[in-house]
Amino acid sequence: MDPELEDLFRDDPSLGETARLLRAARPDPEPDQHFRNRLRVQLVAEAQRSLRPRGLRRWLRVGPGHLAWAGAALGTAAIAATAVALFSTHVVDHQTVTAYSTIAARHAVSPSDVITVAFNQPMNHARVEGGLHIEPATQVTTTWKGNDLVITPLHHLAGNTPYTVTIVKPALVAASGATAAKPLQISFGTAPTPPPAPAAAPPPALQLADLGAVAGGSSVLFAPDGAVVSTAGYPPATASSPSPGATARPTPTAVSSPTTSPPPGSSSSPALLEYGATGSSTSLGPAATAAGFAPGGASLAAAVSDGSGGSEIIVSQADGTQSHVLVDSRAPIVALTWATGGTIVYATSSSIASVDLAGATHQLATPAGNVVELAPGGAYAYLAPSGGQSGQLLDINAGSSRALNGATDGVAFSGDGSTVAWVSTAGAQPTLVTEPVGRDASASVSVPDPEAGITSLALNHDGTAIAYTLTPDTGAAKLVVAQLPSGTPSAIGPATSSAVFSPRGDALALLTASSGGMEAQRGSIPGSAPASTTAIPVGANSTLRAFVDAQARGDSATLTPLTASGVDAAARTPSRLSRSYVVDAVVQSDGSVKASVELIVDPTTSASAQIADETLTLSTAGPGQPYLVTGLKVTPLHNESSGPHVVNVSRTATHAGFIVQISFDSDLNPLTVPGAFSVVTADGTQLMPEIAYNPDSRTAVVTLPRASTGRLTLTVGSALRDVNGQAIASAFHTQVLAG
């Protein structure tokens, strides 16, 4: 290495070592000496300028600015070393084969990407392809585009996985006969993706009942008696109205514009409409932009247009009688909810306020972003994204907000206001995410088609079920009802623009497209839906995911509140981690959760992937209390073994039997899968499960008979082989509580 660069690295030998390794990994042909000298002079001058002393007193006051400039300076020096070291790679030298890849040393490559290796000259295609090796084992196809080798995984790359692509030295032969100085090795890691959704029998369809046509912009909700209410439905000509005791109100002149004309035989103006069980409907008042029933169901509040560009909140009995105006807002009201039986929280796009039943108002917040939605109970609000940033979750009482990563158009809140769900667009494909409103601890939810669009979210009362519309690139869109946190589908239905769960969670109110426009429907969730998952409690899952993500980031500030007293997670977590993932989590007999985790340092050109095996225990002090990490064991980092590795285990109970899914990082030899799995009962009795392998998701599906009960042990043995013929390094065991 040049003496000037050696001097720059005196205070940080590790950077100097990095530059030397990069330089040593390249051949050394003779480039254009004049250009090389000019490049070195420019880079060294820039590095010296960045590292120039700035006075002792100034540097003793270390702050964020100093850390940033110091990082920039060291980065400049590292770039200088790397640029000089790599310069020789790109010169035209046909005596020595050289190559590079744009994904080398990246830690978040999309699993859908191909691997491109660019050579400096035409190659002997057969020799190169014959020397190609990928770890973890991956089936690929290869094509050539000029001097570039394009490697396409047959089943995509595995998410959140370190990869090493090697072409052995004897295979690096050019068409001219030129050879390489050393083997080619490309190391990288992939971006995380949700684990595959637990397998189950095809979910049943919702049992639908048509209710009536609605205007565009309508929403739906449930009345206390389980009836569906539309905020802007078209009543039939014979629809009943509130009793004479109700105060007459003119139909508003500025309701959201209908996208359809009134159907034949119906009123020309939409109304706040309740649909009866017999097919009849009752008008509860004028069409509304938002509505909600009070806790206990005795009262109804609706925001309606005042005809002057603003809104009025009208409060009535649940049947629409005894209505009166509670408050008049100059701006349109976009959302409302009952905080208590006597207080309503409402929002315009720019402010949030409360009003009691006596009409006294109180300003709660004037957030910087536009208000889109209020959480039930009025403690939180969702603010629309602005300036290219993600949407914000506002804690109304505290006046603070935090970003919901990748959130855009809207969110869904659970009926108790404790959970928020959104679609994150921050990654290469949309991701369904849930999170407790009181804590930054998001968790991805598996969906049947990870590449499909996701819209129209709804959560049930306690956040244990979700509904969403899934729109694939090809084929018809559909509504999916799924369990949380597993993502297991429990029912399907027609695509919807709006959905809401009933208070008991046994039905959905929907707005669907019809030949004449939009229609309200009620969909009962069949009792024959897959029974349940054996997933860990939602609170434990949130803590676990947040804890493991914080370990990968080296975020000790997040780890501390997630751990019990006496558990020093920061000290036990290896440094410089690249990624982490939860392999398995099982509820124990005492109610605690035991989880196994892998902590990974990605491979480099000079070092294999390093891995630490972690076992942790999560416990709660009682109902309503958060789960904390109360036990933690972490092995030292060690080289990752060859062969397939288990990356995720999920369990689902269905009407067909008990299903365990085990996902791997490698493409498996399917002929070795059936004989590698065994299941025994607590008394040692061998069971005979059905075993299938899905190569697209690299997942083995083990189905146990419905009669299986008790705590079972499932083992993946050494007979399992990947497509390269490598065996699993050691047997994998997991517990299954069936029945």
Tell me what pLDDT residue 64 has.
Answer: 40
Model confidence pLDDT, tens digit, residues 152-191:
999 999 999 999 999 999 999 999 999 999 999 999 999 8
pLDDT band per the 50, 70, 90 thresholds, residue 427: confident
pLDDT beyond 70 at 308 = yes
CA atoms within 13 A on the CB side of 584: 22
375 neighbors 381 (Cβ within 8 angstroms): yes
- Secondary structure class of 113 (helix, strand, coil): coil
Residue 72 has pLDDT above 50, yes or no: no
Domain boundaries, the chain: 3-90, 99-189, 538-738
Residue with tokens 């530059």: 19
Q: Is pLDDT of 237 > 70?
A: no
- The pair of structure tokens assigned to 72 is 């920039």
Query: What is the C-alpha separation between 223 and 226, in angstroms, rounded?
Result: 5
Give the confidence band of 201 by pLDDT, cuts at 50, 70, 90. low
- Region of residue 182 (left: phi > 0; alpha: psi -120 to 50; beta: else): beta
Quick check: 480 pLDDT over 60? yes
* Range from 71-80, 128-137, 471-480 that averages highest in pLDDT: 128-137
Would you identify the CATH topology of the domain 99-189?
A: Immunoglobulin-like (2.60.40)
593: closest CA among 559, 627, 643?
Answer: 627
Mean pLDDT for the stretch of residues 286-315: 93
Helix, strand or coil for residue 18?
A: helix
Cα angle vertex 403, ends 398, 404, to 5°? Answer: 115
Side-chain-facing half-sphere of 78: CA atoms under 13 Å: 14
Please determine, for residue 56, whether its predicted confidence score (pLDDT) is greater than 50: no
> Strand (E) positions, 348-494?
352-356, 361-365, 371-374, 380-383, 392-395, 400-403, 411-413, 419-424, 431-436, 443-445, 453-459, 465-471, 478-483, 489-494
- The pTM assigned to this predicted structure is 0.55
End-to-end CA distance of the chain: 67
Please determine whether the domains at 99-189 and 538-738 fall in the same fold group of CATH.
Answer: yes
Name the more confident of 519 and 253: 519
CATH architecture, domain 538-738: Sandwich (2.60)
- Say if residues 670 and 687 touch (Cβ distance below 8 Å): no
Which has the closest alpha carbon to 345: 370, 322, 327, 318? 327
How confident is the model at residue 150, as a pLDDT? 97
Residue 256 has pLDDT above 60, yes or no: no
Report the alpha-carbon distance of residue 440 to residue 349 in Å, rounded. 25
Convert the pLDDT of each residue in 224-235 to its tens digit.
Answer: 888 999 999 998
- What HEC string does 354-368 produce? EEECCCCEEEEECCC
Q: To the nearest whole number, what is the mean pLDDT of the chain?
A: 83
